[in-house]
Amino acid sequence: MKGAAATVRASYRSWLARPRSATVRRLRRRLRQVRDRYRHSLQLRVTTATLILCAVVVSVLGYILMQHLVAGIYANMQQTAKIISDEGLATAGNATDFSEPPNPTSRQAMWHLTQNLASTGGTPYAVEVTLLPQFQGPPVYSSGYTVGFYRSRPQFPQKLISDVYTEWKGRGHVAQRPVSQWASMALASSPRPVPGLLIGAPFGSDYELYYFFPLAAEQQTIASIQQSLLVAGIAVVFLLAAIAWLVTRWVVVPVRLAAQGARRLSAGELHQRMEVRGSDELAALATSFNEMAASLQEKLEELEDLSQVQRQFVSDVSHELRTPLTTIRIASDVMFGARDSMDPAAGRSAELMQGQLERFESLLTDLLEISRYDANAATLDAEPVDVCTIVLQSADIAQQLAERRGTRIEFRLPAEPCIAEVDRRRVERILRNLLLNAVEHGENRDTVVTVAMDSAAVAVSVRDYGVGLRPGEEQLVFDRFWRADPARARTSGGTGLGLAIALEDARLHGGWLEAWGESGQGSVFRLTLPRVVGGDLHGSPLPLRPLPLTAVADGLAAGDAVAADGTAAGATASGSAAVGTAAVGPDAVADTAEAADAAEPAGPSGQAATSGAASRG
């Protein structure tokens, strides 16, 4: 049974999957709509099921009822026919004219008997009185007389005639038992044959009597009963379906309301409650829903309070720590200023203290920033600004470091300003971090900063050609206090929280911060921000992984290989190198965008991003 259903389903699927013309496709879409509708609506399903089941039950009941009625009517009719025909036979048998074999007076007698037996009352029938077949001819020359038949000599079924003859022979001139058969005969009242009951019997010495009872009236009755039953049945089926629809509505509407309430609740409307009516199961559902909502609200408020406490604590710690630190800082400044007049040991101590105080301060600042994020206390202070300007401004410290190392930061900026609603302070902080990291890990090679924009998003990518990242490190880099190589000394004294804060900053904007890297090929950090606050990101105007890398050799994505321009040093990358990309963006959306990115360089936006870049640096 299960197997059969599966086969049907499979064949239905393959039928759906077949390529068709436009009309069929439209039909298929319609079908799919109906199917979805059916699948998603309990009410529709219950109503349909009720409709089908009721139709089956009513049909079966109607059929049985009809059989009974018809059988009753026919039996009734047969009985009437029997009474009339028995009466006729008795009359015929009693007539002395027929006790003799046929003779010339028989014609007269048969005619009289026919007229005598003709239909008089409410039951219409036809009668024939005739001679047995072998006596027809001389000396009587008569085939008998009829009343009510269409033709004077009706054509009776051969079987009935022979049955009557057998009866006559068997009874030995004592005519009694009539023989009956269902047959269609033409009547004077209706030239077209009508079905009816034909009764024949031998009587007298050599005579036969035939009765025909048409079923016309009975058939009319049956037809009208059938019609009424059909109408009543259809009405009952639809009424029951309507009742089922209404009843399911009673159940489904509160369930729908509960679903809606739950949806709103999950969307953050914690005050959402259901109306409780009565004390039935649905009321219980509403009550439990409300209890759940209340407890959820309570828990959330508790959490909020905790977070409030945490925020207050952070703020207090901040104040309490910062005031003494300020005193220490200024004192250190004073001592540092006077170090030339101190003895060498004290002077060097003042220098060390000054340096470490700076480190301590930036660590404290970063820690407070992170705890602000942890407490959900970070707020976005967005205003429309030109992201290109921010890029250039944030590069100052990185520029100084680059100059000291004898490298360059190359800017590829679009000609027109990239206005976006962002928090200038946070974006500056992100970019400062990315640039500083790029220069620091760039192995004295140039760093390339590219900015691009489309209608929804603005993206900044920072590319370095340094040591790059090992597989899996694309996500680790955003971890707090993560170090690529714990043994390696830091040169610029980063706190280890920079990228973690940068990632939080990007998320606060509803944007993405993603990393790509490969051992020996350098790395790319791409920041993508929506151009309006609260805007959705569906993709980035810039590719994350550099264009001409291993895609050709790996045969990963055809789109990736199209626009190879040979700018990157990684063009010689070996085919075996695994390209590790990681979406550290908000969620799975980033992942799908990533997949789109793979094909993007061939697309118009990817092209515009690179060819539209004008050097401003």
Partner 1 sequence: MRDMKGRVLVVDDDAALAEMLGIVLRGEGFEPTFVADGDRAMDAFRDTKPDLVLLDLMLPGMDGIDVCRQIRAESGVPIVMLTAKSDTVDVVLGLESGADDYIVKPFQSKVLIARVRARLRRTDDPAPETLTIGDVTIDVAGHSVQRAGEPLNLTPLEFDLLVALARKPRQVFTREVLLEQVWGYRHAADTRLVNVHVQRLRAKIEKDPERPEIVVTVRGVGYKAGPG
Q: Which residues in this chain contact partner 1 in the complex, by CB under 8 A?
A: 315, 318-319, 322-331, 333-334, 361, 372, 377, 379, 381, 383-386, 389, 393, 396, 417, 419, 424-425
Q: Report the nearest approach of partner 1 to the CB of residue 416 (Å).
A: 11
> Which CB atom, from 100 or from 383, has the smaller least distance to partner 1?
383
Distance CA 179, CA 165 (A): 10
**Lookup result for tokens 């909020």:** 304
d(CA 401, CA 393): 15
Nearer to partner 1, 34 or 330 (CB): 330
Minimum CB–partner distance for residue 518 and partner 1 (Å)? 35
CB of 424 to partner 1, least distance (A): 6
* Closer of 339 and 424 to partner 1 (Cβ): 424
CA distances from 64 to 60, 229, 444 (A): 6, 11, 97
Residue 269 or 333: the one with the smaller Cβ distance to partner 1 is 333
For partner 1, give the closer residue by CB, 140 or 497: 497
Pairwise CA distance, residues 32 & 26, whole Å: 10
Smallest separation, CB 379 to partner 1 (Å): 6
Helices (H), 41-105: 42-94
Residue 343 beta carbon to partner 1: minimum distance, rounded to whole angstroms = 22
CB atoms closer than 10 angstroms to residue 421: 18
Q: Which is nearer to partner 1, 328 or 552 (CB)?
A: 328
φ, ψ dihedrals at 588, nearest 5°: -65, -25
Least Å distance, CB 402 to partner 1, is 18
DSSP structure class, residue 149 = B
- Whole-number minimum distance, CB 433 to partner 1, in Å? 16
Please report how close the Cβ of residue 540 comes to partner 1 at its closest, in angstroms.
Answer: 21
Longest dimension (CA), the chain: 174
Give the residues across from 515 on adjacent strands. Answer: 525, 582
Tell me the backbone φ, ψ of residue 200, rounded to 5 degrees.
-130, 150
Closest CB to partner 1 among residues 385, 584: 385
Minimum distance of partner 1 from residue 411's CB (angstroms):
17
Q: Which is nearer to partner 1, 260 or 327 (CB)?
A: 327
Residue entry with tokens 């908000």: 586
Of 447, 450, 446, give the one whose Cα is nearest residue 460: 450
**Which candidate, 549, 534, 553, places its Cα nearest to that of 597?**
549
Q: Residue 418 in contact with residue 427, Cβ under 8 Å?
A: no
**Shortest CB 369 distance to partner 1, Å:** 9
The C-alpha atoms of residue 284 and residue 281 are separated, in whole angstroms, by 5
**Distance separating alpha carbons of residues 481 and 313, to the nearest angstrom:** 23
Contact call for residues 239 and 222 (beta carbons, < 8 A) = no
Q: From its phi and psi, is residue 533 left (phi > 0), alpha (psi between -120 and 50) or beta?
A: beta
CB of 413 to partner 1, least distance (A): 15
Residue 423 CB, shortest distance to partner 1, in Å, is 9
Least Å distance between CB 381 and partner 1? Answer: 5
CB nearer to partner 1: pick between 174 and 334: 334
Burial category of 206 from C-beta neighbours within 10 Å (exposed 0-12, middle 13-18, buried 19 and up): buried
Of residues 383 and 403, the one with the C-beta less far from partner 1: 383
For residue 108, give the nearest of 97, 94, 100 by alpha carbon: 97
- Pairing relation of β-strands 512-518 and 580-582? antiparallel
CB closer to partner 1, 247 vs 325? 325
What ranges make up the beta strands (E) of 72-173?
Answer: 126-131, 145-147
CB 446 within 8 A of CB 465: yes
Nearer to partner 1, 10 or 334 (CB): 334
Catalogue the E-assigned strands of 177-284. Answer: 179-185, 194-203, 207-214
Residue number with CB closer to partner 1 (23 or 379)? 379
Q: Is the peptide bond before 138 cis (omega within 30 degrees of 0)?
A: no
What DSSP element (H or E) covers 449? Answer: strand 447-453
Which one, 386 or 479, has the nearer CB to partner 1? 386
Q: Which long-range contacts (CB under 8 A, 24 or more apart) does 268-276 make?
A: 270/296, 270/297, 270/300, 271/297
Q: How far is the CB of 321 from partner 1 (least distance, A)?
A: 8
Residue with tokens 């039953």: 229
